[in-house]
């Protein structure tokens, strides 16, 4: 059994059939984020958005089945266009203390973009496997957003 100070880490790797510029933009566009970031069964609301180092956003996820929601805040620590995003995430719920560190690395690959994500400092109250599954679902939706080549006017 872990105590309340124990934290977890998830690491994900994905290759997307889209250029790094498009993938990076999906991480820094409020409209895109509410579409792809919430895991299956959740909707998202963006409450505030300031896409610059020192800025960030406040968002909430709402469970579509139950209507319950939780909100969180993100602060951008580093933004290297089309290459890297580092941010800190905190939950507004005092029952989920601490600060998570998220690093997103984008590398151009022959197939499009190699994406690596690490989320460290996950509160002990959140099972790491659930966090990992949520990220997998979010990345599936990210792929659906960034991979299609849709011509203008379509």
Give per-residue pLDDT as tens, 66-87. Answer: 999 999 999 999 999 999 999 9
pTM, two decimal places: 0.92
35 found inside a domain: yes
Look at residue 4 in the predicted model and tell me its pLDDT. Answer: 54
Residue 6 has pLDDT above 70, yes or no: no
CATH number at residue 37: 3.30.530.20
Is residue 80 a part of any domain in this protein?
yes
d(C-alpha 116, C-alpha 38), whole Å: 18
Distance CA 153, CA 73 (A): 36
Which domain does 36 fall in, by range? 8-146
Segment 42-69, tens digit of pLDDT:
999 999 999 999 999 999 999 999 999 9
The average pLDDT across 23-27 equals 98
Flag whether 1 is in a domain. Answer: no
Alpha carbon separation from 141 to 16, 26, 40, 56, 134 (Å, rounded): 11, 11, 9, 22, 11
């Amino acid at each position: 059994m872990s105590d309340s100070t124990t934290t977890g880490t998830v690491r994900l790797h994905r290759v997307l059939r889209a250029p790094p510029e498009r993938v990076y933009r999906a991480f820094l566009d409020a409209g895109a984020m509410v579409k792809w970031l919430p895991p299956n069964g959740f909707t998202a609301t963006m409450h505030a958005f300031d896409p610059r180092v020192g800025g960030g956003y406040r968002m909430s996820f709402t469970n579509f089945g139950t209507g319950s929601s939780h909100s969180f805040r993100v602060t951008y620590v580093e933004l290297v266009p089309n290459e890297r995003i580092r941010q800190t995430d905190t939950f507004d719920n005092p029952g989920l203390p601490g600060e998570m560190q998220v690093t997103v690395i984008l590398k151009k690959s022959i197939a499009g973009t190699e994406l690596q994500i690490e989320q460290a400092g996950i509160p002990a109250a959140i099972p790491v496997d659930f966090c990992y599954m949520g990220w997998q679902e979010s990345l599936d939706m990210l792929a659906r957003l960034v991979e299609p080549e849709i011509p203008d006017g379509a």
